[in-house]
Chain A
Amino acid sequence: MTSSTTPLHYLSLAEATAALAAGRVSSAELTDAVIARAEAVEPRLRALLSADPASARAQAQASDARRAGGGSLGPLDGIPIGLKDVIAVRDQPLTAGSRMLEKFISPYDATVTRRLREAGAVLYGRHNCDEFAMGSSTENSAFHPTGNPWALDRVPGGSSGGSAAALAAGEALATLGSDTGGSIRQPAALCGVVGLKPTYGRVSRFGLVAYASSLDQIGPFGRTVEDVALVLQAIAGHDERDSTSVGAAPEDFAAALAAPSAPRRLGLPREYFGEGLDPEVAVAVERAVTHYRELGCEVREVSLPHTPYCLDTYYVLATAEASSNLARYDGIRYGHRCAAPRDLHDLYFRSRAEGFGAEVKRRIILGTYVLSSGYYDAYYLRAQKVRTLVRQDFLRAFEQVDALLTPTSPIPAFRRGEKANPLAMYLCDIYTIGANLAGLPAMSVPCGFSRAGLPVGFQLIGKPLGESELLAIGHAYDRVHQWGRRHPNL
């Protein structure tokens, strides 16, 4: 697992940074390595929706030229990083996994894209995802499913399944996803990599195709907690183009990892260890808990009593917002337009009927219903109240503990087509939705494999804007075990 024996495309970001700094490798070589790897595995994996190798190579050459001139832009300079196809990159496709945007080219950069460019990252690859980030398996992509690198007939999770799979397969050294109800953490767990959903507002949403605005948050995937910290450092911070981004003082997330880790108090919410939890997942998570005990952490059971209402609350609020956010896809200004519309209504109806897939339509209809006159109070308003109660549950727990430790997903990667019932699919997110409703930072850290060789992850949920502490706690485990450094046999 040292840089001398690891293929370039499997280096950790931190190792690659060190190698670039020492002149042992060039950005062009790293970039060629991930491009070659993508070309090798894509026919089977299908994590990419589009890629622009020529652009990536040009960015890499620019990085190498910078470095040769003595002007490195920091740890990400020259590192190939891929983006979920819901994040705008100027002059590149932005499909959100939907026929609706199949031919859409973004004329502008998202704020995270701009920040990655300013950090010198080499942007390579647009990753497959569930259509408009709605789903937990990437099967809702309008274009094709993505395989799990550890078992190609299984799903990589979702909705950021392409970004998790691409990283696990060596098609990038880090990737960005988006997480509305678990869409970074669940695929991270299923693909055996680290995935962080930052505090709501920590990372700008400007340029992120909106699913549910009050829940959406962009975050990094990495092979290690340290890698995730390095990417977060580049993309976090207030953005005047996003009113919901927070104006927190800048922090050094990577430095927080190096800080001597005081024994911390960890809480196990009892509602997260009940019915529906796969025994193998339970065992792997329990082993992680044991490790923390051995590190001197105090572990205690806590309660988040409103947990049973999280899923329902989420599906009211997220679909309500989605029904409004997706109204802009109407075939008028851009995106799919039906052939030969008879009149305005026909144009709207057929463009949207043809452009959206079944799950997107289901959520638009649900969201339209809960906002309708006469139902608003019973659904939307009540869900907002429950959301407040859920957040209070968490804040009360944080009076006793520094972080919560839970399974990320109740089950390891399931077979493609296995969860045809939407409700069964929705249950994949029962442990991750709470952090979105409460706006809290949460991270999935890999903690082993099932007997069938499928990755398992645990989730750490932190205090508002508590990313430094959360990363430090995760790193205390991850630096020892490094499950994310294992490679699938692909």
Chain B
Amino acid sequence: MSTPAAPQPASYEAVIGLEVHVQIRTRSKVFTRVAAGYGYEPNTLTDPVVLALPGALPVMNRAALDAIIKAGLLLGCEIAPVCKWDRKNYFYPDSPKNYQISQYDAPVCRGGSVEIELPGPARNLMGEHKRIPLTRIHLEEDVGKLNHGATESLVDYNRAGTPLMEIVSEPALQSGEEAYAYLTSLRATMVQGGISDCDMEKGQLRCDANISLRPVGSTTLGTKVELKNLNSISFVRDGIEHEIRRQRSILERGGRITQETRDYDGMTGTSQSLRSKEEAHDYRYFPDPDLMPVVIDAAWQERLRAECPELPFDRQRRFLADYQMPFTQTSVLVWDRPLADYFEAVVRLGAAPQAAGNWIINDLRRELAAAGLDPAASRVSPANLVALLRLVDSGAVLNAAAKEVFVEMFATGDSPDAIADRRGLRAAPTDSGELENWCRDAIAGNAKAAAEFRSGKDGAINALKGPVMKAAKGKANPKVVDETLRRLLATG
């Protein structure tokens, strides 16, 4: 008996856009002189402007505008000729003025893109690269923080007025994995550009995701759901994947998606509805009459362009091409700007890139991590690392000894030569007759092994090396010992 074939379920694809808020690292707040900061006693980073006292007026902090222009230049955005401010009106206790100073129809940055790399087929192989186009980046002020108790809510305005960028992507991402890659790349760009520390635990980077599904091949957008409170990059990925599954299962059952805002709980991997579209605000945007438009001229842009670092992916391509390094080495270095800068300083002094890369990635990073230091705080100067590499290369210090020398270089900042001398870590001289004498003694002392070697058993030479190394107290270069033994065995 046959049953009619079940209708083939439509195949859906996800369309995802991200709104990322990045706090700009400035000394003072965006519209007043009071300090910006995290972790202070509640309501200590306030003044009449932050508290919106009667008569207080905002005055723009140029450092915040510098930062967003720099972000725009790094991401290839078009920079507006004029920075203009608007008021976004809505009542909420975390907003002291009950309007937020923001940018509505004239963001500082339009267009641009974030380059991302998807996971490769293996850890040592580069993955696929994509460019995720941006809609806009605008500048605004952060709001305060509400702390809800059982019977009352408290407000802390320390965060209120911290400069904030909103980076809006086009709906061009297709998966949680892409969102993860997008945020990783964006965060590195912001951190390396000196724009923000992007510490998500401190709320310096916050992400909302707009997610909709549509049948594969369709060009229209489905009903979108906004996912909020995604407070780590992994939660963004997981929350998006969860939401895609949720929507797909509704659609496959023939249901409809409700336009709403949902709250994703990364700990439980579940989400729940916060509000539906009917409660959407009319923000009554209008130009802020307290702030004058600021002209951003070419000279200003050029000054900031000169401060822009090379982007991580650009640097990686250059490292691969210029230094012939393995992909895995580049993918460690380029995401850590101080480390990559240090690496390049060492290479510029004449070190072989791969060897330098190994020392920096393995030894320097290990010591830095153990000491809890940044690369910039390392006491191993590039010149000293190059000197150590030369000692190893020439055989003057053996690899194992060099590791010891490096640890002491890190601890003291002394030169490798001084340490090798002080600690007696130099290899035995290879050009003196001493080594040759030890080799002759070893051959004479083990005629059996010598004979076996001469009769073609290559491995027998190893039995002769032990006595030589013992005589050299471990400081002989194994390569030179090997060569010397072979030469003597061939001629003797």
Taking Cβ atoms with an 8 Å cutoff, the residues of A that contact B are 86-88, 94, 96, 101, 104, 106-108, 110, 205-210, 212-214, 240-244, 320-321, 323-324, 327-328, 330, 332-334, 344, 348, 368, 371-373, 376, 380
Contacts and interface: CB of A to CB of B under 8 A. Distances in A.
B58 interface: yes
Given A94-B55, A243-B290, A324-B87, 20 more contacts: A96-B54, A106-B55, A110-B55, A206-B55, A210-B290, A240-B59, A241-B57, A242-B57, A321-B289, A323-B89, A324-B89, A324-B286, A327-B91, A327-B98, A327-B99, A328-B96, A330-B91, A333-B155, A348-B91, A371-B286
Interface string B42-64: 00000010011111111110000
Contacts of B53: 88, 106-108, 334
Given A327-B99, A333-B51, A206 B57 contact: yes
A178 B155 CA distance: 33
Given A210-B55, A243-B57, A333-B51, A372 B91 contact: no
B118 interface: no
Given A209-B54, A241-B59, A332 B289 contact: no
Nearest to A113: B55
Interface string B281-306: 01011100111100000000000000
B59 A368 contact: no
Contacts of A86: 55
A240 B56 CA distance: 13
A408 B216 CA distance: 71
B486 interface: no
Nearest to A215: B289
B192 to A, nearest CB: 32
Contact of A333 (B87, B96, B289, B291): B96
B97 interface: yes
Contacts of A209: 54-55
A328 B98 contact: yes
B467 interface: no
Contacts of A101: 54
A244 B290 contact: yes
Closest 7 CB pairs of A and B: A327-B98, A214-B289, A371-B284, A213-B289, A207-B55, A328-B52, A209-B54
A333 B157 CA distance: 10
A101 B48 CA distance: 15
Contact of A94 (B54, B57, B285, B291): B54
B93 interface: yes
Contacts of B54: 88, 94, 96, 101, 104, 106, 209-210, 328
A244 B286 contact: no
A344 B98 CA distance: 13
Contacts of B98: 327-328, 330
A241 B57 CA distance: 7
Interface string B87-107: 101010100111100000000
16 contacts: A88-B54, A107-B48, A205-B57, A206-B56, A206-B57, A213-B290, A243-B57, A243-B60, A324-B286, A327-B98, A333-B96, A333-B155, A334-B53, A371-B285, A376-B284, A376-B286
B97 A327 contact: yes
Most central of A106, A107, A327 by chain B CB within 10 Å? A327
Most central of B54, B55, B58, B285 by chain A CB within 10 Å? B54
Interface in B399-432: none
Contacts of B289: 212-214, 244, 321
Most central of A101, A243, A323 by chain B CB within 10 Å? A243
Given A108-B48, A240-B59, A373 B93 contact: no
Contacts of A244: 289-292
B291 A243 contact: yes
Interface string B349-369: 000000000000000000000
A186 B284 CA distance: 32
A206 B52 CA distance: 12
A327 B48 contact: no
B89 A371 contact: yes
Nearest to A94: B54
Nearest to B59: A243
Contact of B58 (A243, A320, A327): A243
Given A213-B289, A242-B59, A243-B292, A327 B89 contact: yes
Contacts of B290: 210, 213, 243-244
Interface SS majority for chain B = loop
Nearest to B153: A344
Nearest to B284: A371
A437 B60 CA distance: 25
Contacts of B286: 320, 324, 371, 376, 380
A207 B47 CA distance: 13
A372 B284 contact: yes
B295 to A, nearest CB: 14
Contacts of A208: 55
A414 B99 CA distance: 39
Given A244-B290, A327-B91, A327-B99, A333 B52 contact: yes
Contacts of B292: 243-244
Contact of A332 (B56, B60, B93): B93
Interface in B172-217: none
A373 B282 CA distance: 6
Contacts of A380: 286
A104 B57 CA distance: 18
Most central of A96, A205, A244 by chain B CB within 10 Å? A244
A332 B152 CA distance: 12
Contacts of A107: 48, 53
A108 B57 CA distance: 13
Contacts of A327: 89, 91, 97-99
A368 B52 contact: no
Contacts of A242: 57, 59
A116 to B, nearest CB: 15
Given A214-B289, A243-B290, A373-B284, A328 B55 contact: no
Nearest to A321: B289
Contacts of B56: 206-207
B102 to A, nearest CB: 13
A99 B351 CA distance: 76
A441 B52 CA distance: 29
Nearest to B43: A333
B308 to A, nearest CB: 28
A344 B146 CA distance: 13
Nearest to A214: B289
A214 B53 CA distance: 18
Most central of B57, B99, B155, B292 by chain A CB within 10 Å? B57
Contacts of B59: 240-243
B160 to A, nearest CB: 11
B465 to A, nearest CB: 78
A209 B282 CA distance: 26
Most central of A242, A324, A373 by chain B CB within 10 Å? A324
Nearest to B91: A348
A214 B287 CA distance: 10
B53 to A, nearest CB: 7
A162 B290 CA distance: 27
Nearest to B92: A344
A344 B92 CA distance: 9
B445 to A, nearest CB: 89
Contacts of B51: 333-334
A319 B400 CA distance: 79
A293 B55 CA distance: 43
A315 to B, nearest CB: 15
Contacts of A240: 59
B462 to A, nearest CB: 80
A368 B55 CA distance: 21
A332 B48 CA distance: 15
A210 B99 CA distance: 14
B93 A344 contact: yes
A213 B93 CA distance: 23
A368 B289 CA distance: 16
Nearest to A96: B54
